[in-house]
Amino acid sequence: MEHLKIAVFPGSFDPITIGHESIILRALPLFDEIIVAIGKNSDKRSLFSMEDRKLFISELFKGEKKVKVDTFDSLTVNYCKSLGASYILRGLRTSADFEYERMVALANKTLEPNLETIFLLTDTKHSYINSSLVRDILHHGGNPSEFVPKTVCELIISTKEK
């Protein structure tokens, strides 16, 4: 049987940004399946519920059969192993991101030697965008439409109206 190239793209995605979307779209030709894995991080206070974040991502990629959305509450390497995933996908915006992500990738490689981390550089035009920025904009009543995909922006607005 052919071994599928499965990548896990872990993160909080609170909310998913155009930078995240770009990384996923650019990674599609590299993998048979990309699992966007929303991690439960007890250290972070989320703006959106896990269900909302899963909805945002599912709706954004509903036409793309290679993208799956899931949640997890464990070490990323254990989650990857449970799915048979051989790759972790990560985006790099800055040199600070690189240093942090390199440290995590080396730890993951120590814990699970068969797991490879694949880094994609963020498009320059997205390099300053992150979920914290979007949360801050939303917290202060700003318009996030330049920072999140259109589908997600519409869902955020409908979520806030509830």
Catalytic residue check, 44: yes
* Active-site residue (options: 12, 20, 53, 126): 20
For 45, 85, 87, 117, the CA distances from 109, given in Å and listed in that order, are 29, 13, 11, 8
CA distance 48 to 160: 10
Q: Is 58 a catalytic residue?
A: no
* Whole-number Å distance between alpha carbons of 158 and 162: 7
Q: Is 109 a catalytic residue?
A: no
93 part of the active site: yes
Catalytic residue among 53, 90, 93, 126: 93
Single out the catalytic residue among 44, 62, 125, 160: 44
* CB environment 122-133: b (16+ within 10 A), e (fewer): beeebeebbbee
Contact 75, 111 (CB under 8 A): yes
Q: Looking at the annotation, which residues are catalytic?
A: 20, 44, 93, 131
